[in-house]
Structures are given as C-alpha cells and as structure tokens.
Amino acid sequence: MSDLPLPAGVAVAVGMALLFPLFEEILFRGMLHGALSRHVAPWAAVVLSAAVFSLVHVTPLLMPYTLVLGLWLGWLHRRYESIVPSVVLHCCNNALVTVIALSPL
C-alpha cells in the first residue's frame, strides 16, 4: 500500500482509520450486541458478537487478535453503555495498523 499515490493513500487511511471502525462498531456493538443482549446473558452477548466480529475479519492468522479486540470492544460497550469508547479504541487500533501498512518497510 505504500506505493499508492498520495490522494489514494489518504482515502485508504481515512477509510481504514475512521469510517470502517465507525461502521463496524455500529454494526457489531450497536446492532448485533444489542440484539443478542435481549436473548442471552450479557457476557454471552459480548462473546458471541466478538466471535462474529473475528469471523468477519476472515484472515485466520489474525482471528485470535480480532477475537481479543472484539472482546475488549464488547466489554467497553457494556461497561459504558455507549459505542463511543469502542469506536475510539477501534479507530486507534486501525490507525496504528494503517500507519504500519502505509509505511515503507
């Protein structure tokens, strides 16, 4: 990705660091976790939504990491009863990954 022209690199970085995390948190913590919470125990809703989050990030090597991240994001959502903390953490995580992906090695 470091070979992208500057405008494309900026667009990718903004998408990866801001837009995708916001969308994913609305989907996984806001909608999925909220729906699961009406049918299962709070801890089960966190685990199930984290598992789905991990499976959607289909790279097997990264699934343990995304599962742990999903658990943490789910805990933040439960703890603060808001998706804002999980959006902030998810954006920080993706921003770091984006910087690493876009930096020449």
Give the pLDDT band (50/70/90) at residue 2: low
| Burial classification of residue 94, based on how many CB atoms lie within 10 Å of its CB (0-12 exposed, 13-18 middle, 19 or more buried) | buried
- DSSP string for 55-78: HHS--GGGHHHHHHHHHHHHHHHH
What residue type is assigned to position 52 of the chain? V
Domain span at residue 74 reads 6-102
Is 1 a member of any domain?
no
Give the pLDDT band (50/70/90) at residue 10: confident
Give the pLDDT band (50/70/90) at residue 13: confident
Percent over 90 (pLDDT), the chain: 74
Is 21 a member of any domain?
yes
48 or 105: whose pLDDT is higher? Answer: 48
The single residue listed with the structure tokens 């806001």 is: 30
Whole-model pTM? 0.88
DSSP-derived 3-state class of residue 45? helix
When divided into structural domains, the chain yields a total of 1
